[in-house]
Each structure stands twice: as C-alpha cells, then as structure tokens.
Amino acid sequence: MSIHWPEAPNLVSEADFDTVDMTINVGPQHPATHGVFRMVLTVDGEVVVDCEPYIGYLHRGLEKLSEHNDYRQAMGFWDRTDYLAGITCEVAYCMAVEKLSGIAVPERAEYIRVIMAELGRINSHLMFLGAFGTDVGSMGTTFSYAFREREKVYDLFEEVAGDRLFPTYIRVGGVSMDLPDNFEQRCRWVLSGVQQGLEDLDGLLTGNEVFVERCRGLAPMTTERAIALGITGPILRATGMPWDLRRAEPYGVYPRLDFDIPIGRSGDIFDRFWVRMAEVHQSIRIIEQCLKDIPKGGLVLNPDLPKTLRIDEGECYFRYEGTKGEYGVFAQSKGGNKPYRMKLRSPSFCNLSALREMVVGTYVADAVVILGSLDIVLGEVDK
C-alpha cells in the first residue's frame, strides 16, 4: 500500500525576494554635518537613490531683526551668518549701506578691511581643510594642523578688535579703530604659520593616494550646470570658470592688487578641495601687498558721519566675494534711520541646491564627503 503525503504549502513568494528602499536620517546632530543640518537619504543597499535636505534648524530672523534696528545696531546680526569668517559679512553689509547712502571710506580703512577680510577667508578655508580630512576618513590630524593656525588668526582678531569669533570691527564709513602698533609684525608671523600649516596639510592630503582616489571623479559638476543652479565661489571655480567678484566687479582696493584666481578642471570633489587650498595662498599674497602699500597714519572712519545715520529713499544690491561665494546684500530705504527691507543672498543656500543631484547614484559613505565638499555654513543658509 502506497502512502500519499499532502503537498507542502508554498511558504515563500516572489515578493519576499523584492528589495525595499531604506530611509536613513543623516542629522540633525550627526557629527559629519557642518552645523545643524539634516538630509534624508533613500538607499537601495549602499546606493543612494534619493536625497532630501532639511534646513531651518538655525533660523534667527536676520533680515527682520535688521529692519527693526537702525543701520548701526544691525551690524551685530550679520557677522553671525558666516560665523567662520564673520568679518567678511560685516564688510559686505557696511559696503551695501555705504552704497545706498553714498558714504565714503578713508583709504587706510579700505586697506584694513581687505586685510581683515582675507584673514577671515583664510580662517574659513582652514576650517574646511581641517574638517574635510575627517569627512573623507580617519585623518584627524588635519584638524590639528588647521586649528593650530586658526588659533593664531583668532588671536590676531582679538588683538585688533577685542573679540575672536564675532569682531564687530567694521563700521559704516570705515572701521571702529586703527590697527595696533605691532600689527604688521604680528600679521606676518601669523601668515608664516599659515604657510607652514598649508605645507603640512598639502603633504597629508594632496600627497595621500587614498585621499586623492577617494575624491577624484566624485560628484563632478559642469560649469553650465553650476551656473544654472546659481552656484558661486570655489565650487563654481572648481568647474574651470575663473569667476571672482574681486576681479569681475572689483571693490575696495582690490583693483590695485595682484592675485590669481585658482580654477579646477572637472569640478569634482578633489578640484573643490584644491581650489580652496590655492585660495589661501592667494589671500596671503593679497595681505602681504596690503601690508606693504597701506597708508601710514590717517583716518580710519569717515569724520563727517552724523550721530544718527538717516538714509533717503532708495535701494541697492551689493554683492561681495564671500568665503562660500556671492554674498549679496539688498538694502531698501524709505527714509529714516532703519532700512525698510534687508535681504541676504546666501551663497551656501544656493550651493546646497546641487546636493541632491550630486548625491544620487553614489554610495552612502560618499554622501558625507559630498556634503563636506560644499562647505556650507548653516548660519548663512538659515539666516
């Protein structure tokens, strides 16, 4: 007699073998991000198939606060946007107000502004170089090299303005006070240290085969696409376009200065890194020329400024080559001592618009490197 066993039920279906995309939150407190920022990655295995950035965690109402304070009181809000180079934001804001009001700036103050702004650019780029090593991998030594020189820059800021991070040194019509007597000597000593720091970083990163292989060819950007997205600054120059407002629309004493505009070739992550490192060398070159050519003595603040600054009806837009790109300030007056409208064109916000298309199609581990290569500052993004 034969025995017939019942047919076993099919416990596995084709749907069980389907892959399901996973969502990963990077931030808002992830140590790999620069500031309070969150990006939601949709991944298929290790490959990113979608990326949605979330901003607004650091919004402080810069524009409305500026509109409810007079032109001088608003100064304290602007250097807290790009807080890695606050003094460059101060210069941009003051130059916009000066353009709106027709206020002149003494020649010595113009040189001082350029010196301090380029020191701020060096400080910001050193922060990028130090942090980027950790973004790429276990290269924590880059932080030590970069912060060693940043501390010297901050000490110099403190000697000049009395504050390190937020100097509030620039004024409408000039600067708040003259440079210390030993400034040239101290500044040259700081610049020599920065040169040494760049050599250390160059040997650790540019000469590192693993670092180069990790960055070369990753998230390239064409010049045409960068322009379409409103990208400016080092990221645009990394695509090969020599666009720098200090040359394209020169202001201050920049027309008198000799410096180059570093550019990349393919717009990839390595080019963005290299352009920023090369720009530090050019900033040193600019500062050394200013130290040589700055007028000895003289006024550093327009003596004809009224006690209360009142500006007639009008509007203007002033764009400044900030550390991240075009830092644009729109100012509108309807008369009185307060602006009717203040608007910041944030370069980091515009540069961030390229994040999604850069990240999609790469690996999860590359997403943090790509974000780091944009060098965003969230105080400027969120305003």
Q: Is it the case that residue 33 has pLDDT exceeding 60?
A: no
Is residue 1, in this structure, part of any structural domain at all?
no
Average pLDDT over residues 239-263: 95
Check whether 34 has a pLDDT greater than 80: no
Q: What percent of the chain has pLDDT over 70?
A: 93
Specify the 3-state DSSP secondary structure of 336: coil
Q: Is the pLDDT of residue 234 over 90?
A: yes
* Residue 138 confidence (pLDDT): 62
Mean of the pLDDT values across residues 102-120?
A: 96
pLDDT at 58: 84
Mean pLDDT lowest among 19-23, 233-237, 256-260? 19-23
Q: What is the pLDDT of residues 44-64, one digit of tens each?
A: 888 999 999 999 888 889 999
Residue 158, pLDDT above cutoff 90: yes
Looking at the domain assignment, is residue 321 inside a domain?
yes
For 330, phi then psi, to 5°, come to: -100, 125
Give the span between the Cα atoms of 78 and 346, in whole angstroms: 12
CATH of the domain at 175: 1.10.645.10
Q: Binning pLDDT at 50, 70 and 90, where does residue 26 land?
A: confident
Task: Identify the pLDDT of residue 11.
Answer: 61
Sheet containing strand 341-345, edge to edge, reads: 314-321, 326-333, 341-345
Digit-coded pLDDT (tens) for 37-48: 889 999 988 899
The pLDDT score that the predictor gives to residue 14 is 62
| First-to-final CA distance of the chain | 86
Q: What is the mean pLDDT of the chain?
A: 90
Q: Is 9 exposed, middle or buried (0-12, 13-18, 19+ CB in 10 A)?
A: exposed
pLDDT for residue 15: 60
pLDDT, residue 143, reads 86
User: Sorting pLDDT into bands at 50, 70 and 90, what band is 331?
Assistant: very high
Query: Could you tell me the pLDDT band of residue 383, with boundaries at 50, 70 and 90?
Result: confident
pLDDT, residue 286, reads: 97
Other beta carbons within 10 Å of 193: 15
Q: Which of 213, 201, 76 is nearest to 127 (CA)?
A: 201
Coil/strand/helix, residue 342: strand
Structural domain contains residue 91: yes
272 lies in some domain: yes
Mean pLDDT throughout 327-334? 95
State the pLDDT at residue 159. 94
In a domain, 33, yes or no: no
Q: For residue 259, which of 222, 289, 218, 236 has the smallest C-alpha distance?
A: 289
Q: What was the pLDDT predicted at 37?
A: 87
Alpha carbons 144 and 130: distance in angstroms, whole number: 7
pLDDT of the residue at 20: 74
Which residue range is the domain that position 333 belongs to? 59-382
pLDDT tens, position by position, 182-223: 999 999 999 999 999 999 999 888 888 888 999 999 999 999
Range 130-147 average pLDDT: 84
Question: Does the residue 22 lie in any domain?
Answer: no
The pLDDT score that the predictor gives to residue 291 is: 96
Domain count, the chain: 1
Contacts of 342 (CB under 8 A, 6+ apart): 62, 63, 66, 67, 74, 329, 330, 331, 332
Structure-block tokens of residue 289: 């020329």
**pLDDT at residue 7 in the model:** 62
Confidence band of 267 (pLDDT split at 50, 70, 90): very high
Q: What are the DSSP E strand ranges found in 258-313?
A: none
pLDDT at 141: 85
On the question of pLDDT at 27 being above 90, the answer is no
Closest to 225 (Cα-Cα) out of 211, 208, 239: 239
Checking if the pLDDT of 357 tops 60, the result is yes
